[in-house]
Structure formats: structure tokens, C-alpha cells
Amino acid sequence: MSSVVARLENKRVIVYGGGTGIGLACAEAMAREGAALFLSGRRDAVLREAAAGLRKFGKVAYEAGDATAVDDVKRITRSAGDFMGGIDTIVVSAGAGGRTPIFDTDPEEFQRIIDHNMRPAFLAMRFAADHLIAAQPASVIIISSTYGLVGHRERAAYCAAKAGVNGLVRAAALDFADRGVRVNAICPGYVETPLSVAVARQEADPEAALEAKRRMHAIPRAGRLEEMGELAVYLASDLSAFMTGQAIVIDGGYSAR
């Protein structure tokens, strides 16, 4: 009888933004496939709960920190490398959004959204580069957005930030390409995470707001967390060894219209 081999057996993964939402979904999917995990995010209590739930699958630790802060990213990288004996996979699911029409957005709010989306991706790669190269084959997976590929009203900062993330992914992929490290982005459509549902609940008609988000896709529903996790597993695995520098769209056909 043949046994099924876990696709990420012996992989060592940092997940920034790993306590909730898409980051946690990626972490769980990777843990199920045999990866060791190191979670990071801003809230210690959220990370503690997430790590406790994931330990049934294998080796998991966490450390709180700000993914936009140089010293924090250095510290997290060092702790993760020590805990797992190296790093060969990074998932960056840290970011921020908000309403930013071009007419009245405060420049500081614009900059906040740019920084919270682009700096984590850059810093995570910058300070783990030596680990990734030493561990090759290695993979970096940045959670971007369909809005990095198409425009959207009143989302100037978020669209600009995610487009910048996609450009960073392409450039970093070329820097790393001959060093055994691949860099790709996942560009989801609307995914119903606890945060996105909470935002919709603030609308005058929450159910109508949720339904409008679902039906903006050609496939008329929201994306599912497990679908995002499955794509991340593929990008972390050696099955995707010839894929780098790509912004992979998983948006139910939204950007095809």
C-alpha cells in the first residue's frame, strides 16, 4: 500500500499576518501538508490562539511584531530561523485598506496604506534573504489583490499599494531567480474573512453589502479561505518550481470583465 506524502514536509514557513483571515488560512493549509510554522502579527493574544489551534498538525511558534518596522522584522526573522532551524518559505499577509478618493484623501492616510502594504513585503524578503538562499529551493508568497491589477473607485491608495506590491514581486523574483528562490503574489477577489464581514456589518444594509461583494465576481460568490490556502500550498511546494514573478489571480473572473 502506497502512502501519501505531505507536499510541504520539512518546509519551514514564516507567516506574517498569520493570526487571522487569509494568513491563517494559508498557515493551516501548510501545516496540514507537513510544514513547520512561525506566525507573526500585531496582536499577541490572537497569535496565541491561532498557534494553539495549529499545533495539532505539527511544530508551531509565534511572536508578535510590526511587519512595517525594521527592528521587529529582524527580530522575528531571527526567532523564526532559530525555532525552525532555517527558513525556506515566507507568506506575507499583512496590509491595510480604506476609502481614499483622490479628491479629499489626507496624504498621511494615503501614505499609511502604501506603507502597510508594501513595507512588509520588502522587509520580509530583505531580512530573510540569506536564510532563503541558504535553504534553496525557497519560496516567497505575497498576498496582494485583484485591485493591484484593476482600478476601483475611492480606493486610490489601496490600488496603488497593491500594484506596487506586484511590481516588487516581479523585480524581487528576478533578483532571486538564479539563487534558488521564487517570488510570487496571490491576487484574490473578495474573500469573506472575519474582518471583511465585520466591515460589511457596518453598512446600513449589511446583507445587501455582502451580497453585492459576492456578485461582483463572474462566479457569483465570495472566494473561500481554503481556496487561498490551497494556492499558497502549491506556490510553496516544489510542484511550482518553474513559476516565479507572477501575480496569480484567484478572483472568480472579476478581472476578466
Active site residues: 158
End-to-end CA distance of the chain: 47
d(CA 164, CA 190): 19
Place of cell 474573512: 193
d(CA 102, CA 98): 12
> Among candidates 95, 93, 86, 94, which has minimal Cα distance to 35?
86
d(CA 178, CA 221): 40
Cβ-contact 112, 100 below 8 angstroms: no
Rounded to whole angstroms, the maximal C-alpha distance in the chain is: 65
